[in-house]
Amino acid sequence: MAELVFFSGTMDSGKSTLALQMDHNHRARGRRGLIFSKLDRAGEDRLSSRLGLSTAAHEVHDDLDFWDTVVGHATSGLPVDYLICDEAQFYSAEQVEQLARIVDEMGVDVFAFGITADFRTQLFPGSRRLIELADKVQVLQVEALCWCGRRATHNARVVNGAMVVEGEQVVVGDTQPGGEDLVEYEVLCRRHFMRRMNSAAARAASSSPDVLPFDLDLCPVPQA
């Protein structure tokens, strides 16, 4: 039975690496698949991992129809056994519904990868619909770490070194929109996310003679 599986996790949890590995494993068994991604760090038509691995992919534009794309391949004599869908949080709810239809009516496995919530801790539309429709939702076991050493659970947007909680939901990291502000992302534990203390703020505070160590609210790392 084909399935729609959503692999979720924070940034730095290995989602894209797993997507590349799954594609490799399925192709090694003779299965035929299509790879999709949106707003990948390496540019259009790519699926890339922070480990340096990458492959060609179909870019998911707002007007892309997954159903028409897969049907087009099948009717052209190019059968499709599975789809790899990276950065799925950026897909529209309608596109996620198309993926579910592909699973149910064409028997094609769909493996979607993405983060669940944005820098404001609000669900992305694509992630919300995947949680609602997926046969399985699997949280990746590779733990990203906050600067304090605890498990990171939140994605923070950092503009010119300072954490922000307002702005457009989708802004690609490591960019300078308008040539002025540097936009980056950082994973934090919940405590430091709620206190708006990213790593740059922690370094600045720790170097101040007016700040005592416990004012940084360091989180003790659980002992094994």
Read off the tokens for 206: 């720790």
Instruction: Give the pLDDT of the chain (224 residues) as one tens digit per residue.
Output: 899 999 998 887 888 999 999 999 999 999 999 999 999 888 889 998 877 888 999 999 999 999 999 999 999 999 999 999 999 999 999 999 999 999 999 999 999 999 999 989 999 999 999 999 999 999 887 778 999 999 898 999 999 888 998 888 888 766 555 557 888 899 999 999 999 999 988 888 876 655 544 455 555 545 54
18 with 26: CB under 8 angstroms?
no
Alpha helices by DSSP H, listed for 45-162, are 66-75, 93-106, 125-133
What's the domain range around 40?
Answer: 4-139
State the Cα–Cα distance between residues 103 and 117, nearest whole angstrom. Answer: 25
State the Cα–Cα distance between residues 161 and 40, nearest whole angstrom. Answer: 22
Q: Do 135 and 159 belong to one domain?
A: no
Burial of 183 (0-12, 13-18, 19+ CB in 10 A): middle
Residue 223 domain-assigned (yes or no): no
Q: What is the CATH number of the domain that holds 32?
A: 3.40.50.300
Sheet strands side by side (includes 136-139)? 58-59, 33-37, 82-85, 109-114, 4-8, 136-139
82 with 100: CB under 8 angstroms?
no
Q: Do 90 and 161 belong to one domain?
A: no
84 with 47: CB under 8 angstroms?
yes
What was the pLDDT predicted at 11?
81
What was the pLDDT predicted at 214?
47
Last residue of a domain, one of 139, 164, 191: 139
Q: Do 28 and 135 belong to one domain?
A: yes
- Looking at the structure of the chain, the number of domains it has is 2
State the Cα–Cα distance between residues 24 and 46, nearest whole angstrom. Answer: 15
What was the pLDDT predicted at 205?
82
186 with 12: CB under 8 angstroms?
no
Last residue of a domain, one of 139, 172, 189: 139
Q: Catalogue the active-site residues.
A: 87
State the Cα–Cα distance between residues 96 and 83, nearest whole angstrom. Answer: 12
Q: Do 22 and 80 belong to one domain?
A: yes
Q: Do 15 and 121 belong to one domain?
A: yes
What was the pLDDT predicted at 182?
86
What was the pLDDT predicted at 169?
87
